[in-house]
């Protein structure tokens, strides 16, 4: 007698689990997907795609449909699977559109995290709605007779021809969309290639550059280079002291004197940015501009000077300055007035 009671309790417990086992599997897959996002080793990338692709193509749509249709008679399992794929593509597309207007942009990690949060919330709603229904009305995966749900010889043959045709078209569109999206993720197109080049002041800020320079005195500055050239790139930065005339009528300048002042080099990998300390020192007075020239991979010979050398550079930045031999003396009465 006790054996029958124990068996009945185990059977009842398993039947209760049947109503939510599909949602539990999705929850476990969500955890695995979050873990897979952190995988970056080349040998583990195939596992990453295996775990994350269902998060974009099946799972979010299934969770949404489970929340919308908690009853077992709402639709068949095959219909839920097909609609899950279409719903998932639509959900991921909308999430990607929203991320495009955020600082995170459309990248794999933010998409996976956003989809995971959405799917988890849908799972909570689906479990609550199923739990609120009588046991005989709750949807459950028909493990006991899967053939009656998916086998073409029963349900599919009873459908109208137009339904089968539309179903085939839907499947074809979904497959094409999956292949296209998969190719974009696995084989992304190269974006615009460029290099960042900037000069920072002593406080590592844009602005507050030294404009009154004493000859022979070092002025701490920083040179920044950001490589976005899709590969390793060798950079050379040259500084030149110049005496230039500025024509306000034409909004242009003419170089009268241009002498070399310093050089630094660096080799960067793709998406690497460095900010290197650089002491600016002017050796003699008479200059009124400092020119920073950035060359990529190759540097022209010493015969290329003046405006031709500036035009040959990949990027250039200049600062207008005033050079003096010594610090000007402030009259004492001026100091007292300031005080």
Digit-coded pLDDT (tens) for 3-38? 444 444 444 444 555 667 888 888 888 888 778 767
| CATH class of the domain whose range is 194-324 | mainly beta
pLDDT beyond 70 at 227: yes
* Mean pLDDT of the region 316-329: 81
Domain spans, the chain: 2-186, 194-324
Predicted local distance difference test score (pLDDT) of residue 180 = 60
Global confidence as pTM: 0.46
Mapping DSSP onto H, E and C, the string for the chain reads CHHHHHHHHHHHHHHHHHCCHHHHHHHHHHHHHHHHHCCCCHHHHHHHHHHHHHHHHCHHHHHHHHHHCCECCCCCHHHHHHHHHHHHHHHHHHHHHHHCCCCCCCCHHHHHHHHHHHHHHHHHHHHHHHHCCCHHHECCCCCCCCHHHHCHHHHHHHCCHHHHHHHHHHHHHHHHHHHHHHHHHHCCCCCCCEEEEEEECCCCCCCCCCCEEECCCCEEEEEEEEEECCCCEEEEEEEEEEEEEEECCCCEEEEEEEEEEEEEEEEECCCCEEEEEEEECCCCCCCCEEEEEEEECCCCCCCCCHHHHHHHCCEEEEEECEEECCCCCCCHHHHHHHC
Q: What pLDDT digit, counting tens, does each position of 157-180 carry? A: 444 555 565 566 566 666 666 666
Predicted local distance difference test score (pLDDT) of residue 76 = 74
């Amino acid at each position: 007698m006790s054996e029958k009671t124990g068996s009945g309790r185990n059977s009842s417990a398993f039947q209760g689990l049947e109503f939510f086992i599909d949602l539990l599997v999705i929850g476990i897959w969500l955890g695995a997907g979050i873990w897979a996002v952190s995988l970056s080793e080349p040998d583990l990338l195939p596992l990453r795609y295996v775990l994350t692709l269902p998060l974009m193509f099946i799972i979010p749509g299934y969770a949404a449909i489970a929340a919308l249709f908690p009853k077992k008679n709402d639709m068949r399992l095959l219909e839920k699977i097909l609609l899950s794929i279409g719903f998932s593509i639509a959900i991921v597309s909308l999430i990607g559109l929203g991320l495009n207007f955020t600082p995170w942009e459309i990248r794999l990690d933010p998409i996976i995290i956003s989809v995971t949060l959405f799917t988890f919330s849908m799972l909570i709603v689906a479990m609550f709605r199923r739990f609120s229904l009588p046991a005989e009305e709750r949807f459950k995966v028909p493990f006991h007779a899967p053939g009656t749900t998916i086998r073409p010889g029963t349900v599919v043959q009873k459908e109208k021809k137009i339904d089968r045709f539309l179903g085939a078209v839907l499947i074809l569109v979904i497959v094409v969309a999956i292949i296209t999206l998969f190719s974009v993720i696995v084989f992304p197109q190269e974006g615009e290639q460029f290099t960042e080049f900037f000069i920072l002041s002593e406080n590592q800020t844009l602005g507050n550059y030294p404009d009154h320079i004493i000859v022979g005195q070092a002025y701490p500055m920083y040179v920044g280079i950001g490589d976005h050239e899709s590969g390793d790139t060798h950079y050379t930065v040259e500084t030149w002291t110049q005496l230039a005339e500025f024509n306000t009528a034409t909004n242009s300048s003419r170089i009268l004197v241009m002498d070399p002042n310093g050089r630094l080099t660096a080799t960067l990998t793709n998406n690497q940015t460095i900010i290197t300390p650089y002491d600016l020192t002017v050796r003699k007075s008479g200059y009124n501009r400092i020119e920073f020239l950035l060359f990529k991979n190759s540097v022209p010979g010493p015969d290329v000077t003046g405006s031709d050398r500036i035009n040959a550079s990949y990027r250039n930045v200049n600062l207008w300055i005033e050079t003096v031999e010594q610090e000007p003396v402030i009259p004492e009465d001026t100091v007292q007035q300031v005080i």
